[in-house]
Amino acid sequence: MREILNQSSNPEIIKPMLELVMEKAEMFKQRFHRKPVFMEVCGSHTHALAKSGIKQALKEYVRLISGPGCPVCVTDQRSIDSMIELSQGENRIICTFGDMMRVPGSKYSLMEERTKGKDVRVLYAPTDAIKIAEDNPEQEIIFLGIGFETTIPILALLMQEAEKKQLTNFSIWMTTKLVRPVLEYLLQSGEVALDGFLLPGHVSIVLGEENYSFLVDDYHISGVIAGFEPAELLSSVQKLVQLAYDGEAKIINDYPSVVTKKGNSAARNLMARYFEECDEAWRGIGTIAKSGLDIKPAYRQFNAKLKFNIKQQEPRKTKCRCGEIIVGKIDPEECPLFGKACTPRKPIGPCMVSDEGSCSAAYLFMRGLG
C-alpha cells in the first residue's frame, strides 16, 4: 500500500500555488519591468527550493538568491583553518557537526585528519560531547561551535551541562553567527537590491516574529517567515511577490505552527547567560561588528580559544567565490570552478560541501538536464 500522500507535496494542491506565484510575478514584471528579487537566508530553504524544483520552475519569474544562511559557508577561512589546526595537538578529541568534516582547510580537511588517525568525532546528538568528556578524563574534548541562533542554544546547553558537572577537560571553540547583523550589513552595503527576505523558519523559532520588525522600520523591506515543505515555500514566495507588487513592507509569519511572536525566550536567556556579543569575521564579507557570540569571561575555562594557543595563519588563496555567492552578488554557475575543479566530491569552497550550500544545491539539483 502506498503511504498516504503528504498534502504539502500533493500536486493538486501545489501546482495551482505555483501558477499563482507565476501570475503574480508576471504582474510585477509588467509594472516594474524586471523580475522581483528575494533572498532566502537559510541553507535549508536553499536546499528545499532546489530539491522541490521550485527554484527551477520560477527561474523566468522570480530571482531567488541564496543568502548567508549556512553557518559552514559563512565561516571565515581563518576560523576553519584554526579548527582543523586544533586537531593536531596530542590527547584531544575534536567533536563536530557532520558538515564541518569535509570543509576544505588551507591544507587539509577534518576528514583527512581523521584518516591520519586524529580523533575527530561527528556527533549526531551534541550533548554526547559531555559524555565523551566524562568517559575520557585524560583527553581534552573540544567542541567546534559553529551555527546561527538555531544551534547556539544547543551550545549554551552544553555549557550548562559542563558547568553542572564541573568538567575541566571540555571546551567549545566558538565561531557562531547572528542573523540580524548580517541582514543589516547586506541592506546597508547596497550591494544587492532586494524586494524582500524569505526568513528562516528554524532560526525564527528562537528569535520570534517580532525580532524582524527592524526590516520594516529601518529599511522598509518585507520579510516572510517560511516553512520547508513545497506548499509552505510557495505560499511564502507568493506573499513576498504580492507585498513587492503592492510596494508594501511587512513582516508576515507564514510558519505560525512553530514560530511565535516572541520566540523562545528560555533559549535566548540560556544563550545570554553564557555568551556575549563579539565581532565575527564572515567569509567574503569581513568582520561585522557584534555579529557573533562568544563565551563570557566568567566561563573562560570552557573557552577553547583561550585554552589552546592556535596561531592564526594567512589562509591559502583559492579562486573560490563563495564570498560573493553568499551575499548574492553572483550565482554559483558564474564561478569558473563550478562543476569543473569544484564538485561535491572534491569541494574547493564551503558552499560546495553540504547539501545546503548554494553551490552544492545548484550542482546537485539543477545541473545536467536536457
Partner 1 sequence: MSQTINLAHGDGGELTHQLIQDVFVKAFGNNEESKFDAAIIPVQQGKIAVTTDSFVVKPLFFPGGSIGKLAISGTVNDLAVSGAKPLYLTCGFVIEEGFALKDLKTIVQDMADEAKKAGVLLVAGDTKVVERGGCDGLFINTTGIGVLTKETETVPSFEVGDDVIISGTLGDHGIAILTSRGDLGIKSAVESDCAALNTMLEKATAVSKQVRIMRDPTRGGLTTTLVEIAEDFGVTITLEENAIPIKDGVRGACDLLGYDPLYLANEGKAIIVVAHDDGDKVLEAIRQLPEGQDAECIGKVTDTSKGQLLIETPLGVKRALHRLSGVMLPRIC
212 in Cβ contact with 251 (< 8 Å): yes
Of 36-95, binders to ligand SF4 (CB under 6 A) are 43-44, 69-72
CB of 298 to partner 1, least distance (A): 27
CB of 142 to partner 1, least distance (A): 17
What sign does the CA torsion over 59, 62, 68, 71 have? negative
Q: Which is nearer to partner 1, 51 or 273 (CB)?
A: 51
Cα 233 from Cα 220, distance rounded (Å): 22
Of 294-323, binders to ligand SF4 (CB under 6 A) are 320-322
Binding site for partner 1 (CB under 8 A): 1-3, 5, 9-11, 14-15, 18, 43-44, 50-54, 56-57, 71-72, 97-99, 101-102, 122-125, 127-128, 146-148, 150-151, 202, 230, 343-345, 354-356, 364-369
In this structure, what are the phi and psi dihedrals at residue 160, rounded to the nearest 5 degrees? -60, -45
Which of 132, 283, 332, 365 contacts ligand SF4 by CB under 6 A? 332
Burial string for 63-81 (b: 16+ CB within 10 Å, else e) reads: bbbbbbbbbbbbbbbbbbb
For residue 8, with 0-12 CB atoms within 10 Å meaning exposed, 13-18 middle and 19 or more buried, which class applies? middle
Q: Which stretch binds ligand SF4 (CB under 6 A): 19-27, 112-120, 268-276, 345-353?
A: 345-353
CA dihedral 84, 90, 95, 98 (to 10 degrees): 40
* Amino acid at site 360: S
CB of 111 to ligand SF4, least distance (A): 15
Any contact of residue 281 with ligand SF4 (CB under 6 A)?
Answer: no
CB of 367 to partner 1, least distance (A): 7
Which of 62, 357, 361, 365 contacts ligand SF4 by CB under 6 A? 357
Three-state secondary structure call for residue 193? coil
For residue 1, with 0-12 CB atoms within 10 Å meaning exposed, 13-18 middle and 19 or more buried, which class applies? exposed
Interacting residues with ligand SF4 (CB under 6 A): 43-44, 69-72, 99, 320-322, 325, 332, 335, 337-338, 342, 347-349, 351-352, 354, 356-357, 359
